[in-house]
Structure 1
């Protein structure tokens, strides 16, 4: 057992990428920033509230394990920022990404004097530089520092918000959370800066000989000699930091020279376009450098698979996929060695390939504002509904009359789906696919689909009454409902793109709709949908069904009258409440 745990730990550590380390360290620093900003905001109340807040803030962040974690995050995040400067081979990405890098690199040089003056002064000399001492320095002794503080607050906050946006924008919940995140992104720094201003004005109002004697003693702010020593340390840190940035820039130049000395390679795009690039560039970097449109939603971070390419010819000489590339390719279910991520593949020799995602669907440097449109895996509930007897209906009617009746049927179905919270998706003849769960939880999506089935029965019954003089027999229908993990995105070609869902759960829903004929019922749902919706196991008849394309039989539930589903769902919710 111990050996197994050790192996699991080793596998976990090997699976950690630089991207994950950068994200984790950035989240720690952003949490500190939020805590510090909220502390600043207390200045809108009083200096006493500000003083109380700073003791709580220090109590948390000066707790030894958290202190170690915080300073480790500072060093790691700064080092990875410099490494990103070296690693990035061109800056033709969307403007937000080089902006984030530039802002991140500027934060240490702006904040280092504050950190050394306050934190290191306390460690080396026992200074007690809290808000009265710092605000006196900024607002009375050196007012130019006010603009420095406001600049670093703005830069650090914008840098952190960009990082959070690039991380969260691909998440399923982001669309719902975006308004609240935007409100927090605006309100927190605004209240913080207002608090900084109000507390500074209060310090100016309180300034007096007695107040200075109480708050500006040598024990609290140190001696001139100690201040000079801290300034020298600050200069050393700045020189070292600028030196590291300079080393990164020089290393970039050396790398470029070495790449050209190693030779050039040709990349052929399969459409007659060929570019010559130095060895060492990724395929995506080569595309961007030569202004060749290339799909890439995540900006080349191996967070998506939209930059995928298929290698033409022998691919045995290519380098093996990195752990991150292998993870992404495995996530999309491909083991074909000719399928690679363009952002990760750095070919050592000439290469021919073609892109799997056409660049007209998404530009190389313009990210789609809605990632779901491009491709995302998520849990959805699929509802297939089909009109029975449409062929017989059309036998003795004019084509226009038949189309009119079918459209009225599909309208009744679509109205029920929309009012229940779903989305009509595809219309195929006299049938329709509807999707539930694009913006709701799994349980709510299942309940919405069941309510939609009940409402479809009501709407079709009303339609039958409306058309009773024109119909030889009432319109009948069959519904299949199933849930599961599917891929949603835009499918099609150029101007003929359709947003839809792909996956086995959708196919199963269509099979369940066909099954309503043999079971002589209006609705067949998978047992998973029944259980997820919270319906009791004994309220619906159970059947074991063979599903084409599946090895194991599937438990399904048959509902003779779709209208009864609404009462069942409402009863379950009332019982749960």
Structure 2
């Protein structure tokens, strides 16, 4: 292994956080749960279908590498759950998060007897406990276990779904995928429980001396002495698990006592409010403990930057940002050392700061008019401007001018909507439209080119409608650019507007201005041309300098926007 590869491996391993380990282990366990539930669902067909399914299920999960991965995930996820119980200093978060923690900690104590009875019984004594044996035990020998099984199925499924929700909720595709995910989250456990019930009824109906002699042999279910040995092992595991939880709770108490002995510090919020808290709390935990509103979309997991604060005064004695905190601050382009994440910063001494994102609260402290907090995603921006509106206004009555401008913006908006985009901001006689809110990058780039052509067609129709009132036809300029932007609600209180912010939007506006100099209707960034799949020689190329940027930019010139659909359709036909 070369020095470079070792360095890359070291950097990769250091970049792995506990949150990522918890996520990966949780996904592995949830995959097992889905597989097990689908196997249960086969009980709605027949016991034979159930038996066939379990062979496929066990063949995959007992394949040695998969088995090692699965049991490692079990141990790691359980250990991280106990660690989360110790580490969490504040439980006044959204109710869904402590609920997830409580459900997760209850799963091992409910499922351990089943795991030891089936898996460890096979390993130690060679038992073959498959569905006929397990269903006999639950439905005939010990019916009370039915309710325990249904309870653990529900708890494990809810815990996994909450984890997936907290992971996926800020992803760009989540809004589109949510209805399908909800359908799966309801159907899979429902079919599984119905299958468990139906197969249990089949076992009851099949119960006979001959059936028991075939399915309940000593080789399959073991002897009484072996069952007692497995029960003792189960008790040891339970005692050990409860002991670990007890150690975590005792450690929490010892930490609280130690923090108070180490002293208290003052946190000043820059608005006249000061709270006194023990050393060791993060700024966000201190805010929540003292009922101080503090923005935090991700719940203090360093997955967003909404809890950012700016330190007032000297910050040289503060602990350096962790790798995760530095990563998040780097993603939002923050290099100022006075800006920190409140959920990660644990000040060792008195601290003064102010919040960069104030939470929207009403007078009684409850949230009012919740907003969509910004998320980073790829969008294509189209900026269109009406030419000559100033001269138009000089020679007309104000209301006549407003009428014409509104008709122009209406024609443009209609073209944008029909092409799959979203009219976003109206600035005088211009408009910003966004593409890609609900489709792929390539489709967004193709939609925006079709929209530019349709704008030209709609403006032509408008010119014909107003030809008796206009000395000159309405002309326009369009700038198109794509890239990663921040989308969210911007504004103040009841005056919030959903929009996009970022350099790609500004560049689209600059490209629209260049249509005047380049004497064309549309200027498209080469990045949009390439993503849309247009050939390099499809449109004339031009290197331009964008105001505010050091590097020149390659753009494509479109003299007549009406020819764009033909180019897009030709490329789609060639690809097909």
Q: TM-score, normalised by structure 2?
A: 0.98
Whether contact under 8 Å (2:360, 2:370) holds in the other structure is: no
Q: What SS does the aligned partner of 2:556 have? A: strand
Question: Any idea what SS the aligned residue of 1:195 has?
Answer: helix
Rate the CA distance shift 1:206–1:367 in 2: closer, same or farther, 3 A: farther
8 A contact 2:360–2:367 mirrored in 1: no
Residue 379 of structure 1 deviates from its aligned partner by: 1.0
Contact (CA 8 Å) 1:308, 1:342: kept in 2 or not?
yes
**In 1, Cα distance between equivalents of 2:94 and 2:332:** 25
2: distance between equivalents of 1:366 and 1:250?
34
Deviations 1:158-211 (A, max 9, x none): 000100110011111111111111111111111111111111011001100011
Confirm or deny: 8 A CA contact 1:296 1:367 kept in the other structure: no
Shift of 1:495: 2.1
- Is the Cα contact below 8 Å between 1:385 and 1:480 reproduced in 2? yes
Asked if structure 1 preserves the Cα contact closer than 8 Å seen for 2:369 and 2:494, the reply is: no
- Cα distance in 1 between the residues matched to 2:32 and 2:213: 32
Secondary structure at the counterpart of residue 476 of structure 2: strand
State the Cα distance separating 1:548 from its structure 2 match: 1.4
Kindly state the Cα deviation for residue 370 of structure 1 after the two structures are TM-superposed: 12
Residue 368 (structure 2) aligns with: 369
Q: How far off its partner does 1:496 sit?
A: 2.2
> How far apart are residue 371 of structure 1 and its match?
11
C-alpha distance in 1 between matches for 2:336 and 2:139:
64
Deviations 1:525-563 (A, max 9, x none): 111111111112222122121211222222211111111
Q: Cα distance, 1:467 vs. partner?
A: 1.1
> Comparing 62-71 with 110-119, which one deviates more in the overlay?
62-71
Summarize deviations over 1:233-289 as a string: whole Å, max 9, x none.
111111111111111111111111111111111111111111111111000001111
Contact between 1:386 and 1:431, CA under 8 Å: does it hold in 2? yes
Distance 1:368 1:476, change over 3 A: farther
Conserved in 1, the CA contact under 8 Å of 2:421 and 2:434?
yes
Taking the aligned partners of 1:367 and 1:518, their CA distance within structure 2 comes to 53
CA distance in 1, matches of 2:131, 2:365: 44
Contact persistence 1:265–1:349 (CA under 8 A): yes
Q: Quick check: 1:383–1:433 contact (8 Å CA) kept in 2?
A: yes
Q: Please give the alpha-carbon distance, in whole angstroms, between the structure 1 residues aligned to 2:4 and 2:371.
A: 39
Structure 1 window deviating more from structure 2 (405-414 vs 499-508): it is 499-508
- Secondary structure at the aligned position of 2:379 is classed as strand
What secondary structure does 1:317 align onto?
A: coil
Quote how far apart the aligned CAs of 1:364 are: 15
Question: Does 2:145 align with 1:145?
Answer: yes
Cα distance, 1:102–1:366 mapped onto 2, change above 3 Å: farther
Distance 1:315 1:14 in 2: 26
Deviations 1:469-517 (A, max 9, x none): 1111111100011111111122222222222212221111111111111
Structure 1: distance between partners of 2:498 and 2:314: 35
Please report how far the alpha carbon of residue 151 of structure 1 lies from its aligned counterpart in structure 2 after TM superposition: 0.3
Report if aligned partners of 1:110, 1:152 keep a CA contact under 8 Å in 2: yes
1:372 Cα offset (Å): 9.3
- Secondary structure of 1:371's aligned partner: coil
Q: Secondary structure at the match of 1:333?
A: coil
Deviations 1:86-118 (A, max 9, x none): 111121111100000000000000000000111
Q: Secondary structure at the match of 2:371?
A: helix
Measured against aligned partners, the alpha-carbon deviations of 1:415-462 in whole angstroms (never above 9, x if no partner) come to 111111111111111111111111111111111111111111111111
| Inter-CA distance 196–370: structure 2 relative to 1 (3 Å threshold) | farther
- 1:209-242 Cα offsets, whole Å, 9 max, x none, are 0110111111111111111111111111111111
Q: Distance in 2 between matches of 1:369 and 1:152?
A: 37
For the residues of structure 1 that align with 2:359 and 2:372, how far apart are their CA atoms? 14
Counterpart Cα distance in 2 of 1:402 and 1:396: 9
2: CA distance, partners of 1:478 / 1:527: 17
Kept after mapping to 2: 8 A contact 1:297/1:368 = no
Distance 1:181 1:404, change over 3 A: same
Aligned length: 576
Kept in 2, the 8 Å contact 1:378–1:487? The answer is yes
Where do 1:550-561 residues align within 5 Å? 550-561=549-560
Give the distance between the partners of 2:531 and 2:25, measured in 1 at CA.
Answer: 37
Please say if residues 296 and 365 of structure 1, whose CA atoms lie closer than 8 Å, have aligned partners that are also in contact: no
TM-score relative to the length of structure 1: 0.97
Listed one character per residue, the Cα deviations across residues 101-143 of structure 1 (whole Å, up to 9, x for unaligned) are 0000000000000001111111111111111000000000000
- Alpha-carbon RMSD across the aligned residues, in angstroms, is 1.9
Once residues 40 and 393 of structure 1 are traced to their aligned partners in structure 2, the CA distance between those partners, rounded to angstroms, is: 72
Q: CA deviation at 1:571?
A: 2.1
> Do the aligned residues in 2 keep the contact of 1:319 with 1:346 (CA within 8 Å)?
yes
**Alignment-derived partner of residue 277 in structure 2:** 277
Q: Displaced runs of 4+ in structure 1, greater than 4 A?
A: 363-372
CA distance in 1, matches of 2:187, 2:452: 44
CA distance in 2 between counterparts of 1:370 and 1:114 reads 47
SS in 2 for 1:424: strand
Higher mean C-alpha displacement, 366-375 vs 180-189: 366-375
Task: Give SS of 1:450's match.
Answer: helix
1:409 alignment counterpart: 408
With over 3 angstroms needed to count, the CA separation of the structure-2 counterparts of 1:419 and 1:187, relative to structure 1, is: same
> Could you tell me whether the CA contact under 8 Å between 1:387 and 1:478 is conserved in 2?
yes
Instruction: State whether residues 266 and 275 of structure 1, in contact with CA within 8 Å, keep that contact through their aligned partners in structure 2.
Output: yes
**Map of 2:296 onto structure 1:** 296
Q: Aligned pair in 2 of structure 1 residues 353, 161: CA closer, same or farther (>3 Å)?
A: same
**What is the Cα deviation at residue 6 of structure 1?**
0.9
* C-alpha displacement of 1:56: 0.9
Contact preservation (8 Å) 1:293, 1:364: no
**Structure 1 residue 367: Cα displacement:** 12
8 A Cα contact 1:298 1:367, kept in partner:
no
The answer for the alignment partner of 2:104 in structure 1 is 104
Question: Is the CA contact 2:360–2:368 (under 8 Å) kept in the aligned structure 1?
Answer: no
Counterparts of 1:388 and 1:22 in 2: how far apart (Å)?
Answer: 56
